[in-house]
């Protein structure tokens, strides 16, 4: 099922796609995903903004959150439903160490993207990934694509495939 504003998989992305979004498009293609990054006319920086821009429920927004291990200093990507906040105690159990939200500099350094546009793949440094179990109950979801105005639509199963993520409870 295609969203009306999303080009079909055979369409070629606009040459005007922002550089960061073009990197996400390339990462999708490298992962074998026939998906298309779309630039929205309004902000998609927050889950609420993204849901309003595409006309879906906030639960269908897959937000990419970067955490930092308090002991290891390593990054962790959590892809969570936009419908709620993650439980850091559950995340710590899944990660095997206490975690803290990463600061913007750490996010940019590890992913190559700024907060508000972090995609679930195509990062500067590959990150272990946890995926919100709640996303798996949804037919279609939208994820950030490198800028605060770009997204792509996919299935939860494809999200797991392209990220190599582990599905777990995060809320």
* Residue 12, CB-side half-sphere exposure with 13 Å CA sphere: 3
pLDDT in tens, 113-146: 999 999 999 999 999 999 999 999 999 999 999 9
Q: What are the C-alpha distances in Å from 160 to residues 41, 78, 133, 135, 165?
A: 28, 12, 11, 10, 5
Q: What is the DSSP letter of 7?
A: P
**Whole-structure pTM value:** 0.90
Residues 58, 83: contact at Cβ < 8 Å? yes
pLDDT in tens, 10-36: 444 445 899 999 999 999 999 999 999
pLDDT in tens, 77-98: 999 999 989 999 999 999 999 9
Q: Residues for the chain: how many in total?
A: 171
Residues 75, 110: contact at Cβ < 8 Å? yes
Query: How high is the mean pLDDT of the chain?
Result: 92
pLDDT in tens, 25-79: 999 999 999 999 999 999 999 999 999 999 999 999 999 999 999 999 999 999 9
Q: Which CATH architecture has domain 19-168?
A: Alpha-Beta Complex (3.90)
């Amino acid at each position: 099922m295609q969203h009306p504003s999303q080009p079909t998989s055979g369409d070629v992305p606009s040459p005007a796609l922002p550089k960061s979004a073009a990197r996400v498009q390339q990462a999708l293609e490298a992962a074998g995903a026939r998906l298309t990054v779309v630039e929205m006319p309004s902000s998609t920086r927050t889950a609420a903004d993204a849901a309003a821009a595409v006309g879906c429920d906030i639960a269908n927004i897959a937000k990419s959150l970067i955490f930092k291990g308090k002991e290891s200093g390593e990054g962790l990507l959590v892809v969570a439903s936009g419908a709620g906040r993650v439980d850091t105690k559950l995340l710590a159990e899944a990660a095997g160490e206490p975690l803290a939200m990463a600061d913007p500099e750490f996010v940019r350094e590890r992913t190559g993207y700024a907060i508000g546009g972090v995609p679930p793949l195509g990062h500067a440094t590959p990150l272990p990934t946890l995926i919100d179990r709640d996303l798996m109950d949804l037919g279609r979801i939208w994820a950030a694509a490198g800028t605060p105005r770009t997204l792509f639509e996919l299935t939860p199963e494809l999200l797991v495939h392209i990220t190599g993520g582990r599905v777990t409870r995060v809320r």
